[in-house]
Amino acid sequence: MGALTMFRPQRERDRIRRFSEPATAITRNALASALASARSAYPNEFGGLLRLTGPRLIGELLLLPGTTAGRRHANFQLWMLPADVAIVGTVHSHPSGAVHPSEADLQLFRHWGRRHLILGYPYSERDWLAYDGNGRTIPLTVVDGPRPVAPPAPPRDRAGR
Ligand code: ZN
């Protein structure tokens, strides 16, 4: 009894630990698809979820079932949240162009999630800000793809010498 828990492989424990660290970066693709969704929802708001695809790296955008794009507010149905430790926060758009959180946004941020993006019209690649769970702006680096987890192996001598 309890052996499975006791002998959970070290790499699995490492994976869980690393995925519990707050994100510091987002892939260009994930950001671009969020901005594209915001543009297509305009003049309504768009809402989605941010998912990690690597340690500290947001690389996936999820549309939450039941999230309605209202003219004034994207309503997050958080009770429909999938049980997924890699989902770390929310993204939504502001057709007004403002990228600061509303009072309702701050309540949402404090309630759940550690990373939140607000996208402001006209949704260019600079029209957004990232916030932590307390509604404070945080830097989020845009990267071209998943960063390597370990340094790449040295090139092998193809001639076998
Ligand atoms: Zn908002």
Structure tokens at 56: 């500290």
User: Would you state the pLDDT for residue 7?
Assistant: 64
User: Band of the pLDDT at 153, cuts 50, 70, 90?
Assistant: low
Instruction: For residue 160, report the distance from its CA to the centre of ligand 1, in Å.
Output: 59
Instruction: For residue 105, report the distance from its CA to the centre of ligand 1, in Å.
Output: 5
> What CATH number does the domain located at 17-60+70-88+101-143 have?
3.40.140.10
| Rounded distance between C-alpha atoms, residue 134 and residue 47, angstroms | 19
Weakest mean pLDDT among 40-54, 65-79, 120-134:
65-79
Instruction: For residue 27, report the distance from its CA to the centre of ligand 1, in Å.
Output: 22
User: Would you state the pLDDT for residue 130?
Assistant: 98
* Identified catalytic residue from 12, 21, 45, 103: 45
User: Band of the pLDDT at 160, cuts 50, 70, 90?
Assistant: very low
Greater confidence (135 vs 66) lies with 135
| Rounded distance between C-alpha atoms, residue 161 and residue 148, angstroms | 28
User: Would you state the pLDDT for residue 6?
Assistant: 58
Greater confidence (64 vs 11) lies with 11
Domain ranges of the chain: 17-60+70-88+101-143
